[in-house]
Structure 1
Amino acid sequence: MRIESESAKNQWVTAAFECMLDGGLRNIRIEALARALGVTKGSFYHHFANRAELVRAAVERWELEGTDAIIALANREGAPAERLHRLLGVIAGSSAQQGRGELMLFLEASDEGVGDAVARVTGRRIAYVAQLLEEHGVPSGLAQRRAVMAVAEYHGARVIAAGTDSLPVDERVLDVGDAIRFLETTLLAP
Structure 2
Amino acid sequence: MASSKSRLSRSAWVDAAAVALRTVGPAAVSVEPLARSLGATKGSFYWHFSNRDELLRAALEAWESADTVGIIAAIDDSASSSTDKVRKLIAIVLGTGTGRGELEMLFGADHPEVRAVLGRVTKARIGYIEKLLGDSGFSPAIAKRRALLAYSVYLGQAQLEFGAPEVLPKTAASRRALENEFTDILIGSRLR
Same fold, judged at TM 0.5 (above):
yes
Higher mean Cα deviation, 178-187 or 42-51? 178-187
Residues 4 and 94 of structure 1: CA distance in aligned 2, closer, same or farther (over 3 Å) = farther
- Correspondence 1:77-96 to 2 at 5 A: 77-95=79-97
Aligned mates of 2:176, 2:42 — CA distance in 1: 45
Q: Return the letter of the residue paired with 1:12.
A: W
User: Residue 163 of structure 2: SS of its match in structure 1?
Assistant: coil
Q: Does 1:145 align with 2:148?
A: no
Q: Does 1:170 align with 2:172?
A: no
Q: Return the letter of the residue paired with 1:121.
A: V
Higher mean Cα deviation, 148-157 or 33-42? 33-42
Corresponding residue of 1:128: 128
Corresponding residue of 1:53: 54
Aligned mates of 2:148, 2:42 — CA distance in 1: 42
Residues 11 and 3 of structure 1: CA distance in aligned 2, closer, same or farther (over 3 Å) = farther
Structure 2: 5+ residue stretches without partners: none
Displaced runs of 4 or more, over 4 A: 2-5
Corresponding residue of 2:71: 70
Aligned mates of 1:113, 1:75 — CA distance in 2: 28
Structure 1: 5+ residue stretches without partners: none
Corresponding residue of 1:187: 186
Corresponding residue of 1:118: 118
State the percentage of identical aligned residues.
33
Higher mean Cα deviation, 173-182 or 70-79? 173-182
What TM-score results when the alignment is normalised by the length of structure 1? 0.89
Q: Return the letter of the residue paired with 2:106.
A: F
User: Residue 78 of structure 1: SS of its match in structure 2?
Assistant: coil
Shift in Å, 1:87: 1.1
Q: Does 1:159 align with 2:159?
A: yes
Aligned mates of 1:41, 1:4 — CA distance in 2: 9
Aligned mates of 1:182, 1:75 — CA distance in 2: 22
Aligned mates of 1:112, 1:128 — CA distance in 2: 24
Residue deviations 1:147-170 (CA, integer Å, cap 9, x gap): 000001001111012005xx6413
Aligned mates of 1:93, 1:181 — CA distance in 2: 11
Aligned mates of 1:91, 1:117 — CA distance in 2: 19
- Correspondence 1:7-18 to 2 at 5 A: 8-18=9-19
Residues 3 and 40 of structure 1: CA distance in aligned 2, closer, same or farther (over 3 Å) = closer
Q: Return the letter of the residue paired with 1:154.
A: Y
Residue deviations 1:101-138 (CA, integer Å, cap 9, x gap): 10001110223632011011001000000101110101
